[in-house]
Amino acid sequence: MTDLLRNGSNSLQAFQRALTTTSHNIANLNTEGYSRQRVELEAVSPSKTSNGFVGNGVRAVGVERLHDQFAVAQIIQSTSAHAHQDTQYQLTSRIDNLVADDALSLTPVLNDFFTAIEDVNSNPSSSAAREIFLSSTEGVASRLQALQSQLDNSQEEVNLRTNAAVNEINQYATEVAELNQRIISTGFHSGGTEVNDLLDKRDLLIKKISEFVDITKLEQDDGSASIFMGNGVGLVIGGHVSELRTTANSLSSDQTQIEISYGNSWQNVTPRLSGGVIGGLLEFQNQTLKPSMNELGLIALQFANSMNTQNAQGVDLNGNPGSDMFSVSEPNVTANDQNSGSATISSTFTDISQVEATEYDVQYTGTDFLITRLSDQTQTSSTMPLTLDGMQISFSGVPASGDTFRISPVRRAAAGIESVLNNADSLALSSPISSSGDVSNLSDASVSDPQVNDIDNPALQNNVDIRFNTDTTFDLVDGNTGTVLSAGNTYAPNTAISYNGWQVNIDGAPQAGDEFSIQANNTAQGNNSNGLAIAALQISPEMTGGTSFNDAYSTLVSRVGGQTRSSQTRSEALDHIRLDAIERQQSVSGVNLDEEAINLTRYEQSYQASAQIISTADTIFQTMLGVVAR
Q: What sign for the dihedral angle of Cα 387, 393, 395, 400? A: negative
- Give 398: exposed, middle or buried? Use CB within 10 Å, 0-12, 13-18, 19+: exposed
User: Is residue 370 in some structural domain?
Assistant: no
What angle, 0 to 180 degrees and rounded to 10, lies between the N-to-C axes of helices 106-122 and 529-536?
160
**Residues 174-203: tens digit of each pLDDT:** 999 999 999 988 876 555 567 888 999 999
* Predicted confidence (pLDDT) at residue 376 exceeds the cutoff of 70: yes
Please check whether residues 80 and 202 belong to one and the same domain.
yes
How far is it, in rounded angstroms, from Cα 69 to Cα 475? 92
Please check whether residues 512 and 564 belong to one and the same domain.
no
Q: How many CA atoms lie within 13 A of 568 on its CB side?
A: 11
User: Is residue 448 in some structural domain?
Assistant: yes
Peptide bond into 541 cis (omega under 30): no
Residues 471-476, mean pLDDT to the nearest whole number: 94
User: Is residue 314 in some structural domain?
Assistant: no
Range of the domain at 244: 71-284+547-582
Please check whether residues 102 and 135 belong to one and the same domain.
yes
Please check whether residues 104 and 166 belong to one and the same domain.
yes
Task: State residue 405's pLDDT score.
Answer: 96
CB-based contacts of 614, cutoff 8 Å, min separation 6: 5, 8, 9, 12
**Residues 39-58: tens digit of each pLDDT:** 888 888 877 776 777 777 88
Task: State residue 508's pLDDT score.
Answer: 92
Q: Are 174 and 236 in contact (CB under 8 A)?
A: no
User: Is residue 218 in some structural domain?
Assistant: yes
Q: Are 446 and 463 in contact (CB under 8 A)?
A: no
Q: Which of 410-414, 454-458, 597-601 has the highest mean pLDDT?
A: 410-414
Q: What sign for the dihedral angle of Cα 155, 161, 164, 170? A: negative
Residues 594-617, mean pLDDT to the nearest whole number: 84
Please check whether residues 108 and 246 belong to one and the same domain.
yes
Q: Are 285 and 158 in contact (CB under 8 A)?
A: yes
User: Is residue 328 in some structural domain?
Assistant: no
Q: Enumerate the β-bridge partners of residue 466.
A: 476, 516
Task: State residue 319's pLDDT score.
Answer: 81
Task: Kindly report the number of other CB atoms within 10 A of residue 213's CB atom.
Answer: 28
Task: State residue 325's pLDDT score.
Answer: 96
Residues 324-353, mean pLDDT to the nearest whole number: 93
Q: Are 360 and 373 in contact (CB under 8 A)?
A: yes
* Predicted confidence (pLDDT) at residue 498 exceeds the cutoff of 90: yes
How far is it, in rounded angstroms, from Cα 166 to Cα 169? 5
pTM: 0.86
Please check whether residues 81 and 172 belong to one and the same domain.
yes
Task: State residue 139's pLDDT score.
Answer: 96
Task: State residue 374's pLDDT score.
Answer: 94
How far is it, in rounded angstroms, from Cα 437 to Cα 448? 10
How far is it, in rounded angstroms, from Cα 413 to Cα 597? 69
Please check whether residues 195 and 223 belong to one and the same domain.
yes
**Residues 267-317: tens digit of each pLDDT:** 999 999 999 999 999 999 999 999 999 999 999 999 999 999 999 988 888
Q: Are 346 and 399 in contact (CB under 8 A)?
A: no
The separation between CA 189 and the C-alpha centre of its own chain, rounded to angstroms, equals 47
Q: Are 316 and 425 in contact (CB under 8 A)?
A: yes
User: Is residue 357 in some structural domain?
Assistant: no
Task: State residue 630's pLDDT score.
Answer: 57
Nearest CA among 429, 451, 412, 408 for reference residue 325: 429
Task: State residue 331's pLDDT score.
Answer: 95
Please check whether residues 185 and 228 belong to one and the same domain.
yes
Task: State residue 256's pLDDT score.
Answer: 95
Please check whether residues 83 and 47 belong to one and the same domain.
no
Q: How confident is the model at residue 522 (pLDDT cuts 50, 70, 90)?
A: low
CB-based contacts of 140, cutoff 8 Å, min separation 6: 106, 109, 110, 113, 303, 326, 419
Please check whether residues 10 and 58 belong to one and the same domain.
yes
* Predicted confidence (pLDDT) at residue 1 exceeds the cutoff of 60: no
Task: State residue 217's pLDDT score.
Answer: 93
Q: What's the number of domains the chain is made of? A: 3
* Predicted confidence (pLDDT) at residue 102 exceeds the cutoff of 70: yes
Higher pLDDT, 452 or 325: 325
CB-based contacts of 537, cutoff 8 Å, min separation 6: 114, 306, 307, 310, 549
- Give 381: exposed, middle or buried? Use CB within 10 Å, 0-12, 13-18, 19+: exposed
- Pairing of β 265-268 and β 378-382: unpaired
For the chain, give the percent of residues with pLDDT over 70: 97
Please check whether residues 151 and 241 belong to one and the same domain.
yes
CB-based contacts of 500, cutoff 8 Å, min separation 6: 457, 459, 460, 462, 464
Task: Kindly report the number of other CB atoms within 10 A of residue 383's CB atom.
Answer: 9
Composition of the chain by helix, strand, coil, percent to 5: 45, 20, 30
User: Is residue 164 in some structural domain?
Assistant: yes
Q: How confident is the model at residue 528 (pLDDT cuts 50, 70, 90)?
A: confident
Please check whether residues 10 and 83 belong to one and the same domain.
no
Q: How confident is the model at residue 359 (pLDDT cuts 50, 70, 90)?
A: very high
Task: State residue 119's pLDDT score.
Answer: 94
Residues 582-590, mean pLDDT to the nearest whole number: 88
User: Is residue 403 in some structural domain?
Assistant: no
- Pairing of β 225-229 and β 215-219: antiparallel
Q: Are 308 and 326 in contact (CB under 8 A)?
A: yes
The per-residue pLDDT of the chain, averaged, comes to 90
**Residues 125-138: tens digit of each pLDDT:** 888 999 999 999 99
The separation between CA 210 and the C-alpha centre of its own chain, rounded to angstroms, equals 20
Q: How confident is the model at residue 420 (pLDDT cuts 50, 70, 90)?
A: very high
Give, in order, the Cα–Cα distances in Å from 118 to each of 112, 125, 311, 499, 528. Answer: 10, 13, 14, 29, 10
Q: Are 273 and 279 in contact (CB under 8 A)?
A: yes
Residues 485-507, mean pLDDT to the nearest whole number: 93
